[in-house]
Homo-oligomer: A and B are copies of this chain.
């Protein structure tokens, strides 16, 4: 884990950007402290529950990076009045009006970032939608605080090869920088220009105009990231300890007590060149059994089998022996 954190820090040190790690991956104060620049942050979270938990642990600079709704603004104001600089994210005029109204009512200015859609992956405003961007920017600047613009290159998880990853990163950068330019042209301040995904953080060739990078899974990595080529299987720093609970020798199965409750149901490598099933099996020292995968998973049962076509054999394990299993998606296994 320390190696992975150092690797991203070294990579970002060539640019003039801040690292604002996404803490949803680890959901742990210890992991958060290992990845943040200081115990006070900055940081990104995906729920207000995470925001409250990390605020208790002393984090003071947080972006809640899921679109805000009116019913959550009370909790946002509570956290802010407790001394946490918590910023929200939005992409509609309705949300901006709700943030402005709550700010007026509370006599404070809630900071908000406008979410930009850089690749059609999920939410956000297109960086060509000048009208909507300036409308939202003006509402925020008048009654709340326009903190900046933010995007997430979710499409990068489907990219294959260095050229495609570099292109995703550039598309991500250009989308927010274009949006910031539109706002500034309308005389609106836009101090923060925020991008973030682990693949693009590792492959960006240029971050001109960007002020901060959010990434989360870089801390542990996982089989999806290894499949994209962002890390090696050896870099994966999160594993599930599974205990052998049985055998079906005629079928070539070893049964363990690590089902999808432990591994997560994520099958993120199913569409990649190498399908890792529900995970790669390693010995206790972390050396992968290259011929084994977790072929199936029930709630509390995992089925380890020889990888199809590998010609391997099952290792000589006894009831009670333990193995380490590398997960497809560190965020879901960590949660």
Residues of A in contact with B (beta carbons under 8 Å apart): 24, 46-47, 66-71, 90-92, 94-95, 98, 115, 117, 120, 122-123, 154, 243-248, 251, 255, 257, 260-261, 264-267, 298-301, 303, 318-320, 331-332, 335
Could you show 13 A-B contacts with beta carbons less than 8 Å apart?
A24-B300, A46-B300, A66-B300, A67-B246, A69-B320, A71-B243, A90-B246, A91-B246, A122-B301, A122-B303, A123-B246, A260-B265, A265-B332
Given A67-B255, A71-B243, A123-B301, A95 and B332 contact (CB-CB distance below 8 Å): no
The answer to whether A69 and B319 have CB atoms under 8 Å apart is yes
Cα–Cα, bound, A246→B95 (Å): 9
Distance in Å: Cβ of A317 to nearest Cβ of chain B: 11
Instruction: Point out the residue from B70, B248, B301 that lies within 8 Å of A66, measured CB to CB.
Output: B301
The answer to whether B67 and A245 have CB atoms under 8 Å apart is yes
Residues in chain B near residue A154, CB distance under 8 A: 298
Given A154-B298, A246-B123, A257 and B69 contact (CB-CB distance below 8 Å): yes
Distance in Å: Cβ of A95 to nearest Cβ of chain B: 5
The answer to whether A245 and B70 have CB atoms under 8 Å apart is no
Copies in the complex: 2
The answer to whether B245 and A320 have CB atoms under 8 Å apart is no
Instruction: Point out the residue from B69, B95, B300 that lies within 8 Å of A47, measured CB to CB.
Output: B300
The answer to whether A92 and B123 have CB atoms under 8 Å apart is no
Cα–Cα, bound, A90→B257 (Å): 12
Distance in Å: Cβ of A126 to nearest Cβ of chain B: 9
Residues in chain B near residue A66, CB distance under 8 A: 245, 257, 300-301
Cα–Cα, bound, A61→B251 (Å): 34
Residues in chain B near residue A91, CB distance under 8 A: 246
Residues in chain B near residue A335, CB distance under 8 A: 261, 299
